[in-house]
Structure 1
Amino acid sequence: MKKVGSKKNNPFPLTIEELKKILNKQYAYSSDLSFTVYEHEEQKIAVFYIQFSVDEMKLENYLLETLLNTEEQLTNQLALKRVPLSDGGEYNNFESILDYLIQGHVFVYFETENSVLGYSIPNKIIRNLETTETESLVLGPKVAFTESLSTNINIIRYGLKSKDLVMEKHIIGRRDPREVRLIYVRSIANDTDINTFRQRIKALEVDFIDDTSVLTQYLEDNSTTVFPQFLITELPDRLIYNLSRGKIGVLSENSPNAIIAPSTFFSFFESTEDIYMRWNSASFIRILRFISFFISTLLTPLYVAAVTFHYEIVPTPVLITLGESRAAVPFPPIFEALFLELMIELLREAGARLPTKVGQTIGIVGGVVIGTAAVEAGITSNVLVIIVALSALASFTTPNYIMGTTARVIRFPMIIFAGLLGLIGIVFCTSILLIHLIKLTSLGRPYFSPVYPFRWKDFNKSLFRSKPDMQQKRFISYRPKDKYRFKKIKKGLKKDIDE
């Protein structure tokens, strides 16, 4: 049994009428407050709660039926023993009572008692487990998180059966209190990272937290950068994998996503499929993702720089083709490239916001029709259409949607500097980006690790995958308590069965 409040600030005992008057004053603009008075054994009992936020079947079958069928006069202690609900407690602080009311608590007050009884029986709206929407997979578990925190916690505990698994409970939000769970494996995660994350959550004072993606914007080290510093995932399997590597996770009530930290720049190019594939195939695909990121950000700017300033770097046969394709185009390459890139972004956003079937049609037909019409009208060259399409296609290979969006944002200043300064502008932008990435941190850890600070032993866990028997160590840049995942066993000599 829990007790909330103190004797010093206790306004009880009150009459039923006084209690009702106080509650009606607090909820003067809401008609959802249910306040019912029952007569039982010459005793008045008040039951109050917020309608639609409690499970009324449990309220009728377990609470009211037990109280009203008791043949003796009730007290708080007697009711706590008789009512078959585990989460019951005494409350004598009105601020706590009002907070718990909106969280799905039912309160019972026996007139002349020094406190009210409260039971948590929320009416939870739970969505069935479904496959992922934003993180498509071919191999591995495909179940996704839901908006129910209890369901998400059960999924994590089912997938990670460890006695060291810790789920710290925190409440965020002054006007809309929301439960948040800080999750880590106690014997692996670094204490400094845990304390840093816990301190940031406790120091956060906001009215509302709509989703974990909003929460990350308050907790990240640098809120002005375009690069995400915390990884957001809807895959329980990915969260479990990172917890076993020494990272920390955060789950929030009413959010189907989890936060993973600390994260590096290279974490956003990893996929859980890499675990289930053979190490050499997974390494090839991961390297392909990095190459695609650079193609997405640099290919169009390189075209603009070459056509505007640096004809000498283009082979002669290709230069003749470029000249023929641009002969009827009246605009400079920078405006031509910005026009096509903006058109691609408009088509992408239109396809994402429209219903699925209509969005796919708009994306395919719109791209083909508008691209062909632009070339025939002489607004752009056919070579640039191919280059922009290839850049857009390369951005889709990034497993993380936010990092893919980051590549799209970076591309526009790159094009502008390439059109103004040529290759010097591209080198300048790239240098600024590298300096920025080196300075960034995620939960106080270097964001560009293992490239800076350079740690060769971590390359096989970020840029590529080595053989499973060579991955006995965890990512040392996060400084986990237990550095070893397993101990390497020496293989014995192979012998024939007959020997």
Structure 2
Amino acid sequence: MKKKAKQPEMKQDIKNFQELIAIMEKSDDFKQVDFGNVSAIKLYYYQSLINTDKLHTNLLPYCQQLTIHAIEELENVLPFDDTEITADLAVIEEKILAGFIAVHLQNDTTNILLIPAKFETDRDVAPPEIEFSVIGPKVAFIEDLQTNINLIRKRVKLPQLHVKKLKVGKITKTTIAIMYIEGIANPDNVQTVIQRITDIEYDQIMDSSFIGQMISDNEQSPFPQLMDSERPDRVSSALIEGKVAIVCDGSPHVLTGPTTLVEFFAAYEDYFLTWHIATAFRIIRIFAVMFSVLMTPLYVAVLTYHYHIVPGDLLGTLISSRKDIPFPPILEVLILELTIELLREAGARLPTKIGQTIGIVGGIVIGTAAVEAGLTSNVLLILVALAALASFTTPIYRIGNTIRLLRFPFIILAQMWGLIGVVIGVMFLVTHLLRLTSLGRPFTEPLFPPRWQDLKDAFVRLPFNLQGKRPIYTSSEDQNRINLNKTKPKKGKRK
């Protein structure tokens, strides 16, 4: 039996600086500049990664005019911050690939001076596109790690706000920043996040979504177990509540945890409105989600098995709308549901203006043609459109995808066993949610386990003066949020 040939290793074992340079110079965008006649200095850098203005303005004049005998002399005269002298090949390789210029003095065979000259291509801070709010700040995260940390620090002005940076990804070496407030965040939550991210062994981390999936308590669940937000104010509020934030370089979304299911139905704009209005909107969202998941399965169950429970007046309308339909309710529902999903995917993948046109015109044309052709009933068309509209009420995009997926198992169960099948589906769903955790904390809190204190900001949002404690599920070290003796403003006295 022949042995399999050993696969060559992706990364070579580099023993010295010259071997590293020999590998890098195989790329056409890797440059070397030699000042041997003046000061015996050599520069190494990737032209595609550095800012050439910094090179020509702040570095080359010093290299051309000065005679340098030690690498420390050059470091002291250069107008750069965050320079570093090192002999560690791993650090040198990492820095050059991150947009640093390596300076090598020919009479110094060990130390290399690394100068930051990264070419910045990040976009400007812009309004949020997914979690847009009419009232409140119009600022969203971008793809630059330092900018995102700055947006959070501007809102949380505390020396206790700590940042721990990790490198993840064997090839991408993506920087991940873990943020928390010492004295408020539970150390167990912080250590859990650090440990799980440290244990990741994957070659590429391109977005915070990779991290969210890899450190989830249950990777098989369709429910997101970490909150994903593009709003700095929402992330800052989560940190103050005692949560941990995960900022990924190159991603405009920040993860926070632990979280709960109810939190995915709370828009941050709720805190900018009076508590009466915010509570009404939250209740509307929750009922909209239930309607979106259960409406079409109930239609299939009732028309297939339980038509006798339909009131007489409504039954006549259903019969007249379906009298020429050649398909059973299950096929009728699946055709319309898949059509809605196709329109939604097409609208999301096409350019913005074309996508909007396809969504509106396509929905009207296809819906009208399907009813006139006798392929579906007009009653079902209305129900499917309302269910699709209700799924858009969730303020967090990821939970909306989950709701879209849940509808189809419920439709199949309704076809198999009618209302009993729908009840079985609800029981499986509730059991799954009860078993879920977020960073080891219960996902269905405050309903299970019941914690009445957290209900003040769950399905309803009570006034701020009644929310004197931080959420229990975060296990915050400092539970007090406000001084209860000073929550009510004093009435002015008449003179």
TM-score by length of structure 1 reads: 0.93
Q: Does 1:398 align with 2:375?
A: no
Query: CA-to-partner distance for each residue in 1:288-344, whole Å, 9 max, x for gaps?
Result: 110011000001111111111011221111111111111111111111111110011
Between the aligned partners of 2:121 and 2:128, the Cα distance in structure 1 is 19
Which of 24, 35, 48 aligns to 2:32? It is 35
1:67–1:83 Cα contact (<8 Å) kept: no
**Residue 480 (structure 1) shift:** 0.6
Q: Does 1:429 align with 2:425?
A: yes
Q: Does 1:284 align with 2:280?
A: yes
Q: Does 1:163 align with 2:178?
A: no
Q: Match of 1:249, SS?
A: strand
1:10–1:92 Cα contact (<8 Å) kept: no
- Comparing 295-304 and 127-136, the one that deviates more: 127-136
2:258–2:441 Cα contact (<8 Å) kept: yes
Q: Equivalences for 1:193-204 in 2 at 5 Å? A: 193-204=189-200
Amino acid at match of 1:110: L
Which of 138, 142, 145 aligns to 2:134? It is 138
Matched residues, number: 481
Q: Match of 1:463, SS?
A: coil
Q: Match of 1:159, SS?
A: coil
2:241–2:474 Cα contact (<8 Å) kept: no
1:55–1:123 Cα contact (<8 Å) kept: yes
1:271 aligned partner: 267
Q: Match of 1:489, SS?
A: helix
1:187 aligned partner: 183
1:248 aligned partner: 244
Q: Match of 2:300, SS?
A: helix
Amino acid at match of 1:82: V
Q: Does 1:375 align with 2:379?
A: no
2:35–2:63 Cα contact (<8 Å) kept: no
1:479 aligned partner: 475
Q: Does 1:497 align with 2:472?
A: no
Between the aligned partners of 2:436 and 2:68, the Cα distance in structure 1 is 65
**Residue 496 (structure 1) shift:** 5.0
Which of 105, 109, 132 aligns to 2:104? It is 109
Q: Equivalences for 1:74-473 in 2 at 5 Å? A: 74-113=69-108, 114-473=110-469
Between the aligned partners of 1:463 and 1:73, the Cα distance in structure 2 is 68
1:6 aligned partner: none
1:10–1:93 Cα contact (<8 Å) kept: no
**Residue 363 (structure 1) shift:** 1.0
**Residue 55 (structure 1) shift:** 1.6
Between the aligned partners of 1:73 and 1:488, the Cα distance in structure 2 is 65
Between the aligned partners of 1:404 and 1:354, the Cα distance in structure 2 is 20
Amino acid at match of 2:381: V
Residue segments in structure 2 that go unaligned for 5+ positions in a row: 1-12
- Comparing 216-225 and 424-433, the one that deviates more: 216-225
Query: CA-to-partner distance for each residue in 1:210-251, whole Å, 9 max, x for gaps?
Result: 111122111111111111111111111111111111111111
Go from structure 1 to structure 2 and tell me whether the alpha carbon gap of 1:389 and 1:75 turns closer, same or farther (over 3 Å shift): same
Residue segments in structure 1 that go unaligned for 5+ positions in a row: 1-8, 13-18
1:25 aligned partner: 22
Between the aligned partners of 2:59 and 2:170, the Cα distance in structure 1 is 30
2:413–2:425 Cα contact (<8 Å) kept: yes
**Residue 67 (structure 1) shift:** 3.1
**Residue 33 (structure 1) shift:** 1.1
Amino acid at match of 1:27: M
Go from structure 1 to structure 2 and tell me whether the alpha carbon gap of 1:64 and 1:381 turns closer, same or farther (over 3 Å shift): same
2:14–2:20 Cα contact (<8 Å) kept: no
Query: CA-to-partner distance for each residue in 1:419-452, whole Å, 9 max, x for gaps?
Result: 1110010000110000000000111111111111
**Residue 385 (structure 1) shift:** 0.5
**Residue 493 (structure 1) shift:** 8.2
Between the aligned partners of 2:492 and 2:99, the Cα distance in structure 1 is 67
Q: Does 1:68 align with 2:56?
A: no
Q: Match of 2:255, SS?
A: strand
Q: For the aligned residues, what is the CA RMSD?
A: 1.8
**Residue 492 (structure 1) shift:** 8.6
Q: Match of 2:80, SS?
A: coil
**Residue 69 (structure 1) shift:** 2.1
2:163–2:179 Cα contact (<8 Å) kept: yes
**Residue 90 (structure 1) shift:** 1.8
Between the aligned partners of 2:179 and 2:490, the Cα distance in structure 1 is 43
1:183–1:249 Cα contact (<8 Å) kept: yes
**Residue 24 (structure 1) shift:** 4.8
Query: CA-to-partner distance for each residue in 1:121-174, whole Å, 9 max, x for gaps?
Result: 211212111111111211111211111112112111112211211111111111
Go from structure 1 to structure 2 and tell me whether the alpha carbon gap of 1:317 and 1:172 turns closer, same or farther (over 3 Å shift): same
Between the aligned partners of 1:290 and 1:381, the Cα distance in structure 2 is 28
Query: CA-to-partner distance for each residue in 1:442-471, whole Å, 9 max, x for gaps?
Result: 111111111111111111111110112101
Q: Which runs of 4+ in 1 moved over 4 A?
A: 9-12, 490-496
**Residue 80 (structure 1) shift:** 2.0
Amino acid at match of 1:79: L
Between the aligned partners of 1:40 and 1:73, the Cα distance in structure 2 is 12
Amino acid at match of 2:33: T
**Residue 61 (structure 1) shift:** 2.1
1:15 aligned partner: none
Between the aligned partners of 2:366 and 2:81, the Cα distance in structure 1 is 64
